[in-house]
Homo-oligomer: A and B are copies of this chain.
């Protein structure tokens, strides 16, 4: 089955036959698929009255394990946003009652962000919904193909995740 990248690559080969556009076969698909996934995630989360950015913050806290608390600084390294953005996000999540700010007992400069019980439940429900949807998207592939794909992608992501920041 043909996809949009096949058409895009064909157009480039017509317009720029001098260039080798083979890299686009892989990386344009990655970017476009990510875009589709963003939309699908937004839809899945809306059933739980959550925005994608809310899910990102809540699940980072959820994954931390009991007592489900992290500093704003830890949150922003995990979510790859800037500090101003994170302050804003925490404000809004706190207003919705999904997290609460606590003073850090060991550092008076810092605060700790803790998941409320409701925040934890919402994160758990949204994760279950997300996994269900993702399983449907991946049903195009066999178990072996999924493992193969995960392995190839890991080879590409590992340099980014390990060498720089």
Contact = CB atoms under 8 A, between A and B. Distances in A.
A136 to B, nearest CB: 9
A85 interface: no
A35 B80 contact: yes
A65 B13 CA distance: 11
Contacts of A37: 27, 30-31
A157 B3 contact: yes
Contacts of A96: none
A108 interface: no
Contacts of A95: none
A31 to B, nearest CB: 5
Interface in A10-27: 11-12, 14-16, 19-27
Given A25-B146, A27-B37, A27-B138, A157 B5 contact: yes
B158 A63 contact: no
A105 interface: no
A15 B147 CA distance: 23
A65 B138 CA distance: 36
Given A152-B145, A152-B148, A124 B25 contact: no
A114 interface: no
Contacts of A20: 131
16 contacts: A1-B154, A1-B155, A1-B162, A3-B162, A15-B63, A15-B65, A23-B137, A26-B146, A27-B138, A29-B153, A30-B33, A31-B34, A31-B37, A35-B80, A140-B155, A140-B159
